[in-house]
Amino acid sequence: MGLTNGSTGRNAVDSGLFIKKSTPDEKVIAVAGNPNVGKSTVFNNLTGLKQHTGNWPGKTVTNAQGYCRYRDTTYVLVDIPGTYSLMAHSAEEEVARNFICFGEPDAVIVVCDATCLERNFNLVLQTIEITDQVVVCVNLMDEAKKKNIRIDLDVLSAKLGVPVVGTTARKKKSLDKLILSVYDLLHSNEEKTPVKIQYIKPIEDAVAIIEPVIRKKPDININARWLSLKLLDYDETLITALNAYLGYDICADHDIQEGLALAQQVLSDNGMVKEALRDSMVACLVLSAENLCIDAVHFDKINYNAKDRKIDRILTSKWTGFPIMIALLMGVFWLTITGANFPSRILSDGLFWMEDRFTDAFHFFNAPDWLHGMFVLGLYRVLAWVVSVMLPPMAIFFPLFTLLEDVGYLPRVAFNLDKYFKRCCASGKQVLTMCMGFGCNAAGIIGCRIIDSPRERLLAIITNNFVPCNGRFPTLISILTMFFVGAAAGPAGPVLSTLLLTGLIVLGVFMTFIVSNMLSHTILKGIPSSFTLELPPYRKPQIGKVIVRSLFDRTLFVLGRAVMVAAPAGLIIWIMANITIGDFTLLSHCSNFLDPFARWLGMDGVILFAFILGFPANEIVVPIIIMAYMASGSIMELDSLWDLKQLLVDHGWTWITAISTMLFSLMHWPCSTTCLTIKKETQSLKWTAVSIIVPTIMGMLACFAFATITRVLI
């Protein structure tokens, strides 16, 4: 869940390859690496930024940038998406590769996982092929030590021909060496002799033909040897990007055409075409990485990851996998609901006490009634409601969820559930994007980039809204608390709410399956694509840090956004409720118009109208409902949250209304920010429209079915 100022809402929309340099002397440093090796931690600790990190591959999907000053130089650090390779098989790999090739970074830091160095070196070698300005950062040295893996950094450095630094990015201090290495690299004039990957003879012969031709082109300042390899391999996406960068078609260049034809002749004479050529290139890289590690990495314990396997056997076994998953989900909800109860009450008591004081102050100054109504009964009351109801559950839910995320549990959920996604012809990684959706659907939709297949990515985008985001989550919890905890007040209350909330979330997951399946057999026809999911090692979360980070970065930020939207909305509603046209207020005109339709859905006109007005932010749906009710009746004192329930009941709410409202909250159009993000990510109005229409129709159907069934039965 990338929920920080920079990763939710409008800012989430990728800023692409645009680098902001404040002076031309600044050095641009790309931070690359395999997924989930702690790249973002390195980036955060160097720049002081708070790009959110999590223990699962694909956490960072956009280019984040930050600044770092060391000695006399300012560095612009660019956190590029994690990739296994630069051969660009997916959108994020393309972003990573294009940045390293055409973003003209002054240096590249390749972050590696010390516990899995060999695999990581594939990317290191590919990066070194492009540029010699590389610093290798062997991160997670502490984890390696725990697993008794010894790494000889000097041997690695000597073999690679580039600086190699061991770090434990969680401990800020160890990064000093890293930035010092970058500094030295950029300030030394020494000739660099990075390792050269030796390919088999026919490939080397072919390169020998084309490389000098490229060298002669003065306008191509890309590593000629690497470019030769790519041209021979005919890497289409690279050539497209290269042509865009150069401004002309490189394959149309006469000399290059000629050289390429000759070189390809050499290859085809040796049976090296297409797949065979690529296979042998990759094999050379993988074997080089293997060779590099043989002398430098020593495993003192054969079963160094036995503990992880033991945990995996519990968390993903046939008998315990699913029960633990449900239990954890319910545990988190139970803690959130029970824990939020008490602080919610205190907050609302305090804030409504404040309201009375404001009222006193307005009376004291003989302020006109409309001013008091607008600011105290309109603006302040909505704010107070939003804060007292939203803050406590968020402050509990986010840290808990972040803990699960940091430990590395989420990929296990994807592993457990993949078969169901496969049946829907979707990707198991959709689970990860759904988890991000809990925080913010817009962030979840950007997260869908981790899914390689465009079709499966669209499925994940369209269905992401079935996961309630932090805007809707408190709505659900508060309705549940009002209607189901209060009624059964006592120890059974929270348990019942937990069950209902879990049921609702499971329903959302279920809808995701149904809709994915329906789409896969209609407008998004296709077979499930291949799937590789990495299950990262478990890591001990930094509990203190998680709590502080989720409280400040997520909770307060999200709350701030809610307040920003809620305040003007409160004003607008108050005004609408107080402007009278004919016999009714503007507000009742609107809600009366919607009422007959809304009744079919088990709600009323006011609720439906509130959902429509809640388009900018789902947080304000319940406050709008409350304001509208208060405005249409005689204004009464609402001293506590429990009076709110009375207000709702007075306006005809029953448990059926409550459940219908929750169903519709779970399934309706995405908020405006999410819609914008979908448009940006899919580049298509059609798919944006589908993403709006599909959940809306499903929600209406569900509400209609529920309302009709209960009407018939009761």
Partner 1 sequence: MNHIHTLKDMKQGQTAKVKSLLSTGSIRRRLQDIGLIEGTEVECLQKSPTGDPTAYLIRGAVIALRSEDSSNILVFP
Q: Which residues bind partner 1 (CB under 8 A)?
A: 84-85, 87, 89, 115-119, 122, 275, 278-279, 282-283, 286-287, 289, 308-309, 312-313, 316-319, 321-322, 415-420, 422, 428, 452, 528-537
Least distance (Å) from partner 1 to the CB of residue 538? 11
423-450 per-residue burial string, b: 16 or more CB within 10 A, e: under 16? ebbbbbbbbbbbbbbbbbbbbbbbbbbb
The 8-class DSSP code of residue 319 comes to: T
Least distance (Å) from partner 1 to the CB of residue 466? 21
* C-alpha to C-alpha distance for 155 and 450, rounded to whole angstroms: 34
667 Rama class: left (phi>0) / alpha (psi -120 to 50) / beta:
beta
Please give the backbone phi and psi of residue 304, each rounded to the nearest 5 degrees, phi first: -70, -20
Largest CA-CA distance found in the chain, in angstroms, rounded:
96
Least distance (Å) from partner 1 to the CB of residue 304? 9
CA 249, 255, 258, 262 dihedral sign is: negative
Please give the backbone phi and psi of residue 113, each rounded to the nearest 5 degrees, phi first: -90, 115
* Residue 613, CB-side half-sphere exposure with 13 Å CA sphere: 27
Q: For residues 106 and 534, which CB has a smaller minimum distance to partner 1 in the complex?
A: 534
Q: For residues 2 and 537, which CB has a smaller minimum distance to partner 1 in the complex?
A: 537
Question: Which two structure tokens, joined as six digits, stand for 600?
Answer: 């079919």
Least distance (Å) from partner 1 to the CB of residue 77? 25
Least distance (Å) from partner 1 to the CB of residue 530? 3
User: Of 519, 555, 522, 528, which Cα lies nearest the Cα of 698?
Assistant: 519
- Cβ 537 vs Cβ 408: under 8 Å: yes
Least distance (Å) from partner 1 to the CB of residue 146? 15
Q: For residues 106 and 312, which CB has a smaller minimum distance to partner 1 in the complex?
A: 312
CA 307, 309, 310, 312 dihedral sign is: positive
Least distance (Å) from partner 1 to the CB of residue 527? 9
User: Of 685, 673, 702, 689, which Cα lies nearest the Cα of 444?
Assistant: 673
Please give the backbone phi and psi of residue 137, each rounded to the nearest 5 degrees, phi first: -110, 110
* C-alpha to C-alpha distance for 130 and 587, rounded to whole angstroms: 63
Least distance (Å) from partner 1 to the CB of residue 640? 45
Q: For residues 87 and 389, which CB has a smaller minimum distance to partner 1 in the complex?
A: 87
* C-alpha to C-alpha distance for 557 and 233, rounded to whole angstroms: 47
* C-alpha to C-alpha distance for 648 and 654, rounded to whole angstroms: 8
* C-alpha to C-alpha distance for 515 and 509, rounded to whole angstroms: 10
Q: For residues 226 and 421, which CB has a smaller minimum distance to partner 1 in the complex?
A: 421
Q: For residues 67 and 420, which CB has a smaller minimum distance to partner 1 in the complex?
A: 420
Least distance (Å) from partner 1 to the CB of residue 278? 7
Least distance (Å) from partner 1 to the CB of residue 275? 7
| Strand duo 297-299 + 64-70: pairing | unpaired
Q: For residues 288 and 585, which CB has a smaller minimum distance to partner 1 in the complex?
A: 288
Q: For residues 426 and 524, which CB has a smaller minimum distance to partner 1 in the complex?
A: 426
Q: For residues 297 and 663, which CB has a smaller minimum distance to partner 1 in the complex?
A: 297
* C-alpha to C-alpha distance for 677 and 687, rounded to whole angstroms: 12
Q: For residues 9 and 536, which CB has a smaller minimum distance to partner 1 in the complex?
A: 536
User: Of 469, 472, 467, 462, which Cα lies nearest the Cα of 515?
Assistant: 462
